[in-house]
């Protein structure tokens, strides 16, 4: 009975969104995107699309999303939004991070990406334009992927902080006490595999078109680069996402090496009380501001 009620609620919500969508103006980018998508299908094999297309989406998205945070360090006005103002970025750290990223991307992640084609073939994931889900379905799927990944990340990340294994794996990621956007995927190869597994679970659950692979890649990178940016910028549209953790939440984790283990949302840390030190820190910070 409860399952049927849930299905009915979801169906009603879907119909309501579909009804609202029918009143929205046509997206002017839809036709160019459709033409580009069909051109890709006509000129490249599924293996090339799944493998090299996924690599291009990942690399282009990653480094483009890092640009704002990278530029902020050269803008004096933006320094008031930097969370750890006493720890500025250095060229030495950024260059070291960049070199490690290239190794992880091409020697750890690329071999995994090479399995994308076989995944889509095994589960009969379509590539055709006509099979592409509606934008609001895609948004809901990405949110579902984020919820699943966040749960995986919380428990495995917390495990990686166990004193018996921390120094062997996760310590690499904590080399930078004051994080910056490009450092989001700076990690030990084993951590890339362990925490990265959470990314794929949602894909297995929700994927009904290859576009979800790319949409979820972009969403996940947008989130992880934002929380590692080191800047708490006002009017950040990601703060509109319910229970979104944000840069200040994760920056505290890098400052103190404890608590705030979740990747995207705050509920797991709230449930298990691993955000208690962060809450106390915010309260103390608030009191200091009031005294000023």
3-state helix, strand, coil in the chain (%, to 5): 75, 0, 25
Read off the pTM.
0.91
Give which of 36, 66, 196 is closest to 129, Cα–Cα.
36
Question: Are 232 and 83 contacting, i.e. CB atoms less than 8 angstroms apart?
Answer: yes
- The verdict on residue 38 lying in a domain is no
Q: Which residues contact 146 (CB under 8 A, 6 or more apart)?
A: 202, 219, 220, 223, 264, 265
Residue segments in the chain with a per-residue pLDDT below the cut of 50:
1-3, 6-7, 10
**Domain span holding position 192:** 46-232
How many structural domains are present in the chain? Answer: 1
Question: Are 208 and 133 contacting, i.e. CB atoms less than 8 angstroms apart?
Answer: yes
**Residue 231, helix vs strand vs coil:** strand
- The verdict on residue 286 lying in a domain is no
- The verdict on residue 188 lying in a domain is yes
Cα–Cα distances in angstroms (integers) from residue 268 to residues 93, 176, 197, 260, 265, in the given order? 31, 24, 18, 9, 7
Question: Are 158 and 274 contacting, i.e. CB atoms less than 8 angstroms apart?
Answer: yes
- The verdict on residue 279 lying in a domain is no
- The verdict on residue 173 lying in a domain is yes
Cα–Cα distances in angstroms (integers) from residue 172 to residues 17, 107, 149, 177, in the given order? 44, 17, 21, 11
pLDDT tens column, 17-50: 665 666 667 778 789 999 999 999 999 999 999 9
pLDDT tens column, 5-15: 544 554 555 55
- The verdict on residue 241 lying in a domain is no
- Report, in angstroms and rounded to the nearest whole number, the Rg of the chain calculated over CA atoms: 21
């Amino acid at each position: 009975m409860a399952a049927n009620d849930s299905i009915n609620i979801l169906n009603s919500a879907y119909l309501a969104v579909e009804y609202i969508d029918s009143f929205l103006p046509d997206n002017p980018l839809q036709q160019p995107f459709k033409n580009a998508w069909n051109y890709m299908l006509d000129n490249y094999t599924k293996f090339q699309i799944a493998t090299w297309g996924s690599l291009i989406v990942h690399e282009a998205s990653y480094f483009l999303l890092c640009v704002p945070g990278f530029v902020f360090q050269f803008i004096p006005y933006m320094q008031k939004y930097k969370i750890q103002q006493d720890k500025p970025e250095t060229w030495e750290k950024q260059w070291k991070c960049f070199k490690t990223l290239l190794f992880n991307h091409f020697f750890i992640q690329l071999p995994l990406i090479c399995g994308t084609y076989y995944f889509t073939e095994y589960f009969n994931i379509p590539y055709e334009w006509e099979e592409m889900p509606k934008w609001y379905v895609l948004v809901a799927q990405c949110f579902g992927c984020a919820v699943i990944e966040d749960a995986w990340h919380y428990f495995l990340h917390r495990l990686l902080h166990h004193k018996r294994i921390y120094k062997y794996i996760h310590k690499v990621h904590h080399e930078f006490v004051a994080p910056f956007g490009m450092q989001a995927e700076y990690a030990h190869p084993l951590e890339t595999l362990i925490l990265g597994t959470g990314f794929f679970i949602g894909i297995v659950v929700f994927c009904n078109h290859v576009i979800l692979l790319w949409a979820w890649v972009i969403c996940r990178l947008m989130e992880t680069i934002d929380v590692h940016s080191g800047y708490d910028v006002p009017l950040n549209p990601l703060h509109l996402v319910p229970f979104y953790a944000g840069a200040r939440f994760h920056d505290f984790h890098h400052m103190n090496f404890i608590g705030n283990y979740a990747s995207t949302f705050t509920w797991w840390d709230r449930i298990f009380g691993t955000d208690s030190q962060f809450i106390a820190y915010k309260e103390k910070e608030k009191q200091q501001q009031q005294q000023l």
